[in-house]
A and B are shown apart, each in its own frame.
Chain A
Amino acid sequence: MSQRDLQFVPGTLVVPVGSSVSFPNEDDTGHHVYSFSDAKRFDLRIIPGGESESVMFDQVGTVAIGCNIHDAMVGFIHVVDTPWALESDDAGRVDWSSVPAGNYELRIWHERLRERGQTLTFDIELADDRAEETYELNLRRARRHGGRY
């Protein structure tokens, strides 16, 4: 997860548990990348100019990542232990055709979801001839200083 133009890129990252994520600084400024999330706490002072540091995520959960120097910089790393983790497109559409039929727990996460941990949880049964499902998400308004997924 690099820091480019005072933003985390990509803003949201899904990784399997036990993955190591590197945080390369591509800006001219330094960054102080940190996380107070229970899934992973860390505190990286990264000097400018291509220097990179890696952090190992060995616990399932969502880790909110910020920069102590630039408050507007927010990024999320979802540490998962399931193969079925999908990201929606910009229209909020997710193609779950690759997921085999069976009983699942569906978790929907959005940065601005008004739920504890920004996560909605459903028990669903997926059939082979599954139809398109629509879920209404109750989102908070966007932060003043912008931000993205």
Chain B
Amino acid sequence: MTTRPSWRFQPKLTAYFTALFLLIFVPTILTVHGAVVGAVSRSVERELLASGAVFNRIIALQASQLEETATVLSSDFGFRSAVATRDVATIESALTNIVARLDASHGYVVDLEGEILASTGSVMDGRFAFSESFSEDAPIASAGVLDGRPSVLVAAPITAPLTVGWVVFALELDEAATAELEALSPIPLHAQVLTGPELNELSSLMRLEQSEYGQMLSELDMAGTRSLVHVEDVPVLDGSLNIGLVLAHSKSVAFQPYRQMIYFILLLGAAGIGLLALGCWLVAKRVTRPLSALSEAVALLRDGQRASVGITSSDEFGDLAAGFNLMSEEIASREQAITRMALHDGETGLPNRRALEGRLKELCVVTSTAKGSMLLIGARVKRFANVRAAIGYALSADVLNTVAKRLSAETECFRLTVDTLATLHTLPAEGDPSAYCQSLHKAINQAVAVDALSIDMDVVIGVVDLSAGQFAPEKAVQSLELAIDLASGKGLPVFEYCEDRIPDPIKTLTLMGAMQDAMKTGDLRLHYQPKIGTRSGKVEGVEGLLRWTHPELGFIPPDTFVELAEETGHIAELTEWVLDRALLDQRRFAESRVPVSMAVNVSGRLLANDLFASFAINAVDRHKADPSEIVLEITETAVMENPEVATRQLERLRDAGFALAIDDYGTGLSSLSYLKQLPVSELKIDKSFVLALASDEQDKLLVKSSIDLAHSLGLKVTAEGVEDQASFAALQLFGCEYAQGYFFSKAISADEFIEFATRWNVESQSIEGQQDRAVQ
């Protein structure tokens, strides 16, 4: 948008109307001019034609005067006698006498043959030029050109008594004649008598000049003056050159009376154009001023600013301005609503994640100068989906609002995700974030009363100390969520974010992606460690163990990627893959005549999810396997994290026929009395108690008592980490059912296992062979 919009409409309107005016004015002035030219030329033509007629009349008068005298002379007896007797001297004296009296130019006596008998100092010699035109019967009077001089001529026959010749008088049409005419004319004119080449030249000039003044007038330069010219034919005798009377009237004089009028009209037109242009300019300005104001306001509005125009006129512009102002206000209020919607959660009315990020952005500068530490604290209501499903959206929103109030009584509380709330808390310099959060957790983790219901709260808290490092707002929120995830994953009430404690999420994701690929490519394999029955000495079972050789990173310890899978939610997928693989291989082992029970480790994370039991049952059905030959190994801690769900799942699995084993027994804190409540059938003693069993008496005692206790609870026992004959012997002595360890074999591939088990079972027929083997 230009800053000077008035530069466009204003000149356009002005030019338009000026052009319109000219469109009317120019034809008008042309019409007036045409009318003036017509009137002037008609009037001049009339005057010039009249003058021409007058001139011819003057000539006729002069001629008749001459004729009279010539007739008198020709009738004079003495003159006739002189002519008859060719008395030239007498004739000439008579002619001279008459010429002088008449003020004529010349006198002649011409005989019938045209011979000049006598003259008054003739301009011609011999024959008279056009005597053929003379009449023998009567005098003639006309004009003619004598020796190049236009003249009035009179020829009277001389009868004696028959015509013997003519007496001729000539009166030259000189300036005196035209001067008389000029004096007689009512309009000032310049008269000139022309003949011969001069006349012809003028006539052709006039023919060439296509005159706008009609047939009789032409516009020519006469004597240096632009003039309106008319040529009057003067009647001449046959045989004479033509004579023209050229009448010229000065054009400027002719137009003098009209020029003023034309000038006045032109002046009027110019003034009209000026006024019109000025008027248009002002009107356009009046129009464009409010438009400019509107345009500027629109520009402001477009840039997101509030804009209004102060036009209060009651015309269309006023309406437009009022409309615009209304629109501007509505846009502003709508914008406010949209902003509110964008930054608030509709359900609870709490500001949302974006609002938190905005707040963090604002704080970015402030925190660096603030004393003490700024904590970003997040609380997640566990199983919120269940709560919401039970009590509905409205009440669950009330629950969240209550939690929000507990989380931050004074400051603002944000809803990050469906079940996660967050707040910012400034802790004094001497405060301990951990202690504060623990107390906060206690406060929040109270049952919430809504609509006469009391709902138990299970909340985990994550903390990010914003003062600890430079956090981008997004990073801070992300870190908070990670902290909450970790708290939840590790079963801790509070988890404080700390760079060192957090696996690099990017690396993790990459590794998990690679793990998924590895499932397909075969880089991820399930190896099997044999379980030897202490009574039979044969291979009675296997424990499936994951082995992953990454094409670039090499061997990746199971603990690393299993933990990652647990934290990133890939554990279910991994366990499913393991279960499938194990069931396939179990069938293969059976087909290879080494039927074994198959032990598979189940992540504690999976026990917290009701879905696992269903999946495991489905898998067994799908593979048509015997669940009693499947041992699901779980850790004590996995059960303790979420005892209710875990117990429920374990019971389902037991009811479905699965054998359940407690793995890594002895590392946890659980008591046997607690284990008694679990529907397990087997106990696996952690290898840390078994490795030095042969030498360590205390371990022996612990292992023996554990085995005894287990037996007393009806559980079978497997000892892991058996690495020597002595330990194996001890375990046999203690009545331990199964032994597992490097003494027999490390975890090996399915093919290797089939080979191993086949050989072992054959060899175990002899104790010696078995012992030889074990010694190796």
Contacts and interface: CB of A to CB of B under 8 A. Distances in A.
Interface of A: 32, 34, 36, 64-68, 71, 73-74, 140-141, 143-144
A67 B159 CA distance: 11
Nearest to B77: A68
Interface of B: 75, 77, 80-81, 84-85, 136-138, 159-162, 164
Contact of B161 (A71, A140, A144): A71
A36 B136 CA distance: 17
Contacts of A144: 137-138
A74 to B, nearest CB: 4
- Please give me the 5 A-B residue pairs with the lowest Cβ-Cβ distance, nearest first: A66-B161, A36-B84, A74-B161, A68-B77, A36-B160
A144 B163 CA distance: 13
Given A36-B80, A36-B81, A65 B161 contact: yes
Nearest to A72: B161
Given A36-B84, A64-B161, A66-B159, A71 B75 contact: yes
Contacts of B136: 140
B77 A32 contact: yes
Contacts of B161: 64-67, 71, 73-74
A64 B81 CA distance: 13
Contact of A66 (B85, B137, B138, B160): B160
Nearest to A118: B162
Given A32-B77, A140-B136, A144-B138, A71 B84 contact: no
A9 to B, nearest CB: 16
A34 B85 CA distance: 13
B75 A74 contact: no
A57 B767 CA distance: 218
16 contacts: A32-B77, A34-B77, A36-B80, A36-B160, A64-B160, A64-B161, A64-B162, A65-B161, A66-B159, A66-B161, A68-B80, A71-B75, A71-B161, A73-B161, A74-B162, A141-B137
Contacts, number: 29
Contacts of B159: 66, 71
Nearest to A38: B84
Contacts of A74: 161-162
Query: Among the interface residues B136, B159, B161, which one has the most CB atoms of the partner chain A within 10 A?
Result: B161
A67 B138 CA distance: 18
B148 to A, nearest CB: 32
Nearest to B74: A71
Contacts of B84: 36
Contacts of B162: 64, 74
Nearest to B80: A36
Contacts of A67: 161
B452 to A, nearest CB: 158
Given A34-B77, A36-B80, A66-B161, 16 more contacts: A32-B77, A36-B81, A36-B85, A36-B164, A64-B161, A64-B162, A65-B161, A66-B159, A68-B77, A68-B80, A71-B159, A73-B161, A74-B161, A74-B162, A143-B137, A144-B137
A31 to B, nearest CB: 12
A3 to B, nearest CB: 13
A149 B647 CA distance: 182
Contacts of A32: 77
Contacts of B160: 36, 64, 66
A65 B159 CA distance: 11
A68 B161 CA distance: 8
Contacts of B137: 141, 143-144
A66 B160 CA distance: 7
A13 to B, nearest CB: 15
A65 B162 CA distance: 9
A42 B162 CA distance: 15
Nearest to A66: B161
Contacts of A34: 77
Nearest to A34: B77
Residue from A65, A74, A143 having most chain B Cβ neighbours under 10 A: A143
A23 to B, nearest CB: 14
A47 B719 CA distance: 209
A52 B138 CA distance: 32
A73 B159 CA distance: 11
B67 to A, nearest CB: 15
Contacts of A140: 136
A140 B138 CA distance: 13
Contacts of B80: 36, 68
Nearest to A144: B137
Nearest to A141: B137
A109 B30 CA distance: 76
A141 B136 CA distance: 10
A143 to B, nearest CB: 5
A109 B132 CA distance: 23
A12 to B, nearest CB: 13
A66 B75 CA distance: 12
A29 to B, nearest CB: 16
B175 to A, nearest CB: 37
Contacts of A65: 161
Contacts of A36: 80-81, 84-85, 160, 164
A76 B160 CA distance: 12
A24 to B, nearest CB: 19
Contacts of A68: 77, 80
A63 to B, nearest CB: 11
Contacts of B164: 36
A129 to B, nearest CB: 39
A39 B162 CA distance: 15
Q: Which of A36, A66, A74, A143 has the largest count of B CB atoms less than 10 A from its CB? A: A36
A64 B137 CA distance: 16
A142 to B, nearest CB: 9
A140 B135 CA distance: 11
A73 B85 CA distance: 21
A66 B158 CA distance: 12
A147 to B, nearest CB: 10
A65 B137 CA distance: 17
Nearest to B113: A116
Contacts of A66: 159-161
Contacts of B75: 71
A34 B137 CA distance: 20
A64 B162 CA distance: 7
A143 B160 CA distance: 14
Nearest to A75: B161
Q: Which of B80, B160, B162 has the most CB of A within 10 A?
A: B162
Nearest to B162: A64
A143 B159 CA distance: 12
B500 to A, nearest CB: 157
A21 to B, nearest CB: 16
Contacts of B85: 36
